[in-house]
Amino acid sequence: MGLRKITAGKPLKLLVILMLWMVMATVSAAVYYSLTAEAEVTVTGLTVKFTDGDDTPAGSTVYDAWCGLALKSYPNATLTYDQAVNITNSDSSNGHSIQLSHVSITPDGSAYVGGNFTYIYMTIVASNGTEIVSFDYTNDGTDWSPPADTGYYWMLPSEVWTVKVETLSPAGATVDTVCDLVVAVDVQE
């Protein structure tokens, strides 16, 4: 049926044409609407990074952005690493804030593993010997109690903080039992 055969006349034809034009204008506007964003990403060195400590255990791997510490725990004896790894602010002009955050501990909730560890304590110590914050994992014999995030602490320019680690296993611990612990050091630039 063509528009010429509608008997209502010109006003109805005009109304139909006007409605079609509005639909096309609405669709057209939605199709051509866009936003553009650009980013330039530059690879730079880390300002706050890991460095070897005086007590970094043999078999450990320390990179700027990641470290894998080969820690031990002895049955019925506390083992202390006074400087297991360092956190170094290599920025000589600006201070930065850091915090420790729990990521994971595995296996978590296993009686076999849990019964073999009493605690893993981590303490951040400033270059002047002041203890900044403790980050303690305790075990009740069946399950770990991971710590909450420490909150941010201000690190002065060119300062080196050490991570002191203490471990303890109960007297009846099974030798060669392994626990994997992942902790993040969050840095505010």
Read off the pLDDT of residues 55-112 as tens digits, 9 standing for 90 and up.
Answer: 999 999 999 999 999 999 999 999 999 999 999 999 999 999 999 999 998 875 555 6
Residue 18 clears pLDDT 80, i.e. is over it: no
Q: Are residues 30 and 74 in the same domain?
A: no
Cα distances (Å, whole numbers) of residue 66 to 61, 62, 98, 170, 185:
8, 6, 15, 30, 10
Q: Are residues 23 and 65 in the same domain?
A: no
Residue 40 located in a structural domain: no
Q: Are residues 78 and 170 in the same domain?
A: yes
Lowest mean pLDDT segment, chosen from 19-23, 24-28, 95-99: 24-28
Q: Are residues 6 and 63 in the same domain?
A: no
What are the tens digits of pLDDT across the range 134-176? 999 998 877 888 999 999 999 999 999 999 999 999 998 888 8
Residue 42 located in a structural domain: no
Q: Are residues 177 and 148 in the same domain?
A: yes
177: left (phi over 0), alpha (psi -120 to 50) or beta: beta
Q: Are residues 20 and 58 in the same domain?
A: no
Q: Are residues 28 and 59 in the same domain?
A: no
What are the tens digits of pLDDT across the range 140-149? 877 888 999 9
Average pLDDT over every residue of 115-131: 94
Q: Are residues 71 and 138 in the same domain?
A: yes
Q: Are residues 59 and 28 in the same domain?
A: no
Q: Are residues 23 and 54 in the same domain?
A: no
Cα distances (Å, whole numbers) of residue 145 to 47, 105, 148:
32, 10, 9
Residue 130 located in a structural domain: yes
Q: Are residues 29 and 56 in the same domain?
A: no
Residue 20 located in a structural domain: yes
Provide the number of structural domains found in the chain.
Answer: 2
Residue-number span of the structural domain to which 108 is assigned: 48-188
Q: Are residues 28 and 53 in the same domain?
A: no
